[in-house]
A and B are shown apart, each in its own frame.
Chain A
Amino acid sequence: MKKFTLWFSTIFSSLFVAAMAFAQEHGAEAAGGSLDGNTKAALAIASGLAIAIAAFGGALGQGRAAFAALEGIARNPGAAGKVQTPMIIALALIESLVIYSLVIAFLLQGKI
């Protein structure tokens, strides 16, 4: 009986969450047409530069990580499996910094 209660409440609550979505009301997003022309230009330049500089720095960092990993594999081909996993983790973490900048670029571009 206890197991049935657990299963039933799990399934019911997960479907209930989906049904509750209909009750949500979101306010309409404000139109960005009231901004100054100079402000729009600045926002456009800023969002372009943000992702450009972030991609540049990220590429340098990931290049160094990949270089170290590839050199390790070249010296010791048997350890390729052990080197590969930390390399992927390092690449993902470095890329996450670039992604933060991409999010800011999206935010700025959305305000235009």
Chain B
Amino acid sequence: MNHFSWFGYFTHDLINHTNVHVVSAGFVVFLLILAILFANRKLRKVEERVIPDEKTTLVNIFEVATESLLRLVEGIMGPDGRKYFPLIGGIFIYIFLCNIMGLIPGFLPPTDNINTNLAISLTVFVYYNAMGIRAHGLVRYLRHFMGPILWLGPLVAVIELIGHCVRPVSLSLRLFGNITGDHLVLGIFTDLVPVLVPVIFLALGLFVSFIQAFVFSLLTIIYISLATAHEHEEPAG
């Protein structure tokens, strides 16, 4: 099936299927920055916003998203999860918008391509290791890889290392497979029955987009909390 995209149409195939994911991702970031600028202008006028707006405004949407994400982060990590919140919130909104782009006709989701997903996953990987080293110090953080029993250390370290290195791969593959499969299914069923059935698959696509962004950010939170967990007491043997 041909992948038509508005970017390719307007630039006469200068943006083809090899680089459309970069342009789409840049487009999502551009839209987000525009939205943030508009919302920020509104927020600057009032010093303290105690009463939210009545209707659904842009500021309201941002407030709802920020509040629910913050509740999620603090529910899992406790109150000092706040300092990790900017990355997690940004990841969620970015992945959600990237996935949603696949539902609009003529746009391809940038998360369709493993490169976009690997970019986010590797960022998360570097970030949680860096946060773990910052919380524990380098030697103690590496000591965690050896596991609880010292003489089984090397074996456990190998298993843990493999598990850790698989994490960004699994994060990106999960996102890639879900979004590609969803896009493919939508395309196939639209070719089969163009009339009413695509509505069901568009709704499924919306659901899957949200769930995948949610699962990605949830796993990010869990990895960060595992890396920075402070055990205050050793369990009695």
Contacts and interface: CB of A to CB of B under 8 A. Distances in A.
Interface of A: 10-11, 14-15, 17-18, 20-22, 24, 26, 88-89, 92-93, 95-96, 99-100, 102-103, 106
A102 B178 CA distance: 9
B176 A103 contact: yes
B56 interface: no
A21 B22 contact: yes
Interface string B1-45: 000000000000011001100110111011001000000000000
B75 to A, nearest CB: 10
Contacts, number: 64
Interface of B: 14-15, 18-19, 22-23, 25-27, 29-30, 33, 170, 173-174, 176-178, 180-181, 211-212, 214-215, 218
B211 A92 contact: yes
Contacts of B29: 14, 17
Contacts of A22: 14-15, 19
Nearest to A27: B18
A26 B19 CA distance: 9
A18 B174 contact: no
A10 B22 contact: no
A68 B144 CA distance: 34
**Counting chain B CB atoms within 10 Å of each CB, which of A15, A26, A96, A106 scores highest?**
A96
A6 to B, nearest CB: 12
A10 B37 CA distance: 12
B180 A93 contact: no
A17 B26 contact: yes
A99 B22 contact: no
A18 B14 CA distance: 13
A90 to B, nearest CB: 10
**Counting chain B CB atoms within 10 Å of each CB, which of A14, A99, A106 scores highest?**
A99
Contact of B26 (A14, A26, A88, A89): A14
B55 to A, nearest CB: 26
A17 B23 CA distance: 8
A18 B177 contact: no
A111 B215 CA distance: 31
A18 B215 contact: no
20 contacts: A14-B26, A15-B26, A18-B23, A18-B26, A18-B30, A21-B22, A21-B23, A22-B15, A22-B19, A24-B19, A26-B18, A88-B211, A93-B215, A96-B173, A99-B173, A99-B181, A100-B170, A100-B173, A103-B173, A103-B176
Given A96-B170, A99-B177, A99-B181, A20 B22 contact: yes
A24 B174 CA distance: 26
A17 B22 contact: yes
Contacts of B33: 10-11, 14
